């Protein structure tokens, strides 16, 4: 084999090995996930890049890109905990979602006047000031936030009421409130089936989650098989419409733990 040909072969081998290693890392250990919407504010912001711990709950076919893992059910399975921020495969449309795990199998979940009830008991909230951001296009999708202080123009301050919520197992996290009289603020009782979970966004009035039926684009109940992993840490964050706009990087969020 000629020297040039040998060099090309070695380069191809190096590229293939690198791709295999990267694929194994992404499949078995950690998967990057970009936050495209404001449904998890202020825990996760539009433009956050998080590492998803794929070892947290074991593995299913959805652990592989394009659901190609030849796995039935879950292997090396571990039960998720209430309050985990979880990336999962939508049961109907096949896209990846990130929400907070609120309801475990057998739980009864209900919202009344914007307040969460689990198994008939109120989940306590305490006021925690106001979340403020500039009204402007956010992220590559250029979406604009919803505000509790009305329809504000570009460049104005968009506000949301913030509360600290304490789940029954002691997990404390932020939730946002925009209104108290929407459908998602006053629901029927949802009884979580065995082998499935109930998820909600922390930005309670701007989240298509388990409160909404799958028939209308909601998440509904999510089977255990659809869990991909736990969002543990923000690695990088950009407030701009492109991650290349370095002046929009949020350096205070680099390597920030997800609570």
Q: Active-site residue numbers?
A: 39, 99
The answer to whether 207 and 201 have CB atoms below 8 angstroms apart is yes
Number of residues in the chain: 259
Segment holding 89, helix H or strand E: strand 85-89
**Cα(117)–Cα(115) distance, integer angstroms:** 7
DSSP class of residue 67?
Answer: G
**Cα(64)–Cα(75) distance, integer angstroms:** 13
The answer to whether 156 and 171 have CB atoms below 8 angstroms apart is no
In angstroms, the Cα distances linking 201 to 18, 125, 209, 225, 239 are 36, 15, 7, 20, 20
């Amino acid at each position: 084999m000629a020297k040039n040909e040998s060099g090309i072969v070695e380069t191809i081998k190096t590229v293939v090995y690198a791709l295999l290693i990267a694929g194994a890392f992404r499949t078995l250990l950690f998967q990057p996930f970009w936050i495209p919407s404001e449904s998890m504010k202020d825990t996760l912001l539009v433009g956050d890049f998080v590492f998803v711990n794929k070892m947290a709950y074991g593995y299913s076919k959805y652990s592989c890109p394009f659901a190609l893992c030849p796995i039935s059910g879950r292997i090396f399975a571990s039960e998720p905990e209430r309050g985990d921020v979880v990336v999962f495969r939508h049961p109907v449309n096949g896209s990846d979602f990130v929400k907070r795990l609120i309801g475990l199998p057998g739980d009864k979940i209900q919202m009344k006047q914007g307040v969460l009830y689990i198994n008939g008991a109120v989940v306590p909230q305490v006021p925690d000031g106001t979340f403020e951001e500039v009204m402007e296009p956010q992220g590559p999708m250029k979406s604009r936030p919803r505000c509790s202080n009305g329809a504000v123009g570009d460049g104005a301050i968009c506000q949301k009421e913030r509360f600290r919520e304490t789940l029954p197992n002691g997990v404390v996290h932020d939730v946002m409130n925009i209104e108290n009289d929407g459908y998602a603020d006053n629901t029927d009782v949802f009884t979580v089936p065995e082998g499935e979970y109930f998820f909600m966004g922390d930005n309670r009035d701007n989240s298509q989650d388990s409160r909404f039926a799958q028939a209308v684009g909601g998440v509904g109940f999510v089977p255990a098989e659809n869990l991909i992993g736990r969002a543990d840490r923000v690695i990088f964050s950009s407030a701009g419409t492109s991650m290349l706009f370095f002046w929009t990087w949020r350096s205070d969020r680099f390597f920030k733990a997800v609570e």
